[in-house]
Amino acid sequence: MRRSRLAERRPIFVVFRAECRRIPTGAGLPAGIVRRRQGSAAVGAIGRVGIVQGMTSRMTDRDERMTKVPEVTLVFWIIKIAATTLGETGGDSVTMTLDWGYLAGTALFFAALVVLVAAQIKADRFYSPLYWATIVASTTFGTTMADFADRSLGIGYAGGSTSLLLCLLAVLALWYWSCGSISVDTVATPRVEGFYWAAITFSQTLGTALGDWMATGLGYEGGALVFAGTLAAVAAAYYTTSLSRVALFWAAFILTRPLGATVGDFLDKPINQGGLNLSRPLASAVIAVFIVLCLLILPQRAGRHPGEPETAS
């Protein structure tokens, strides 16, 4: 009889977020009381699950608001190409028109880049003017740095492009190893932002070297057509294939830089070198006004943050 009573003391297990809570039935109590206890336990568990789900939803919404980069749309790419073109004409304005030289120009734009990246990381949310000012600083620094390495140091376009590509791949690999993703949707913490801006800077510098290298053989118009066609192929792959969206984004981001570089060179280089011989400061001012108008007329919002890093496929 005693064994029979012990056998009736079977526990009820309620699973709540991978935790097991043991709720005894209370052997010896009337069946009605036992059922009420079981019902109360189930209702309590459901209530706790609902509270956790609500908290999770609010946390996800908060993470999305904390994203520090703009949503990747057509407007993003329009401004990005304009910013890379401004980086080319602006960098040449300082190093060539003002005759500061590549080393002084590189030091100037590097200092501006450091200040703006620090401000960007310190900011509590996405600020469109600050973000694009940092992009412009990275692309002007990339212009002068690539020119300094290719021309002043004598590395050459092939050597400079190869070295910069290896540096960019190393940054992306370290970013992935450290954070589990290189998606821009995860740029919401200082550590990830550091990797993001390092990758941005190397990609901008690489794009300058690639653009100059291509222009030496095909001219500025030919180089621009090649990079525009390659970008079109990346866009087609985005809409027609299942290739990694992360990989396609970085491919497009890198390719927009040499496209902007060749367009910028086409605008300000002498006619006997295949350019239009426009004033570099004037071209830079016109492009800067265009970017400001885009920011005013086509406002951007912060991109989505998933809350948890997603792995690159």
Q: What is the pLDDT of residues 272-298, one digit of tens each?
A: 776 787 888 998 998 999 999 999 998
> Does the pLDDT at position 147 exceed 80?
yes
pLDDT of amino acid 124: 87
User: Which residues sit opposite 15 in a β-bridge?
Assistant: 20
Strand 19-23 to strand 12-16: parallel, antiparallel, or no bridges (unpaired)? antiparallel
Q: What pTM was estimated for this model as a whole?
A: 0.74
User: Which residues sit opposite 12 in a β-bridge?
Assistant: 23
Name the token pair of 281: 């400061």
**For 172-212, how does the pLDDT look when each residue is reduced to its tens digit (9 = 90+)?**
999 999 999 999 888 988 999 999 999 999 998 888 888 87
How far apart, in whole angstroms, are the C-alpha atoms of residue 192 and residue 250?
A: 16
Cα 44 from chain centroid?
43
User: Which of 170, 152, 251 lies closest to 210 in space, CA to CA?
Assistant: 251
User: Which of 99, 142, 152, 84 lies closest to 288 in space, CA to CA?
Assistant: 84
> Does the pLDDT at position 4 exceed 60?
no
Q: What residues does each domain of the chain span?
A: 12-57, 72-297
User: Which of 75, 76, 88 lies closest to 260 in space, CA to CA?
Assistant: 88
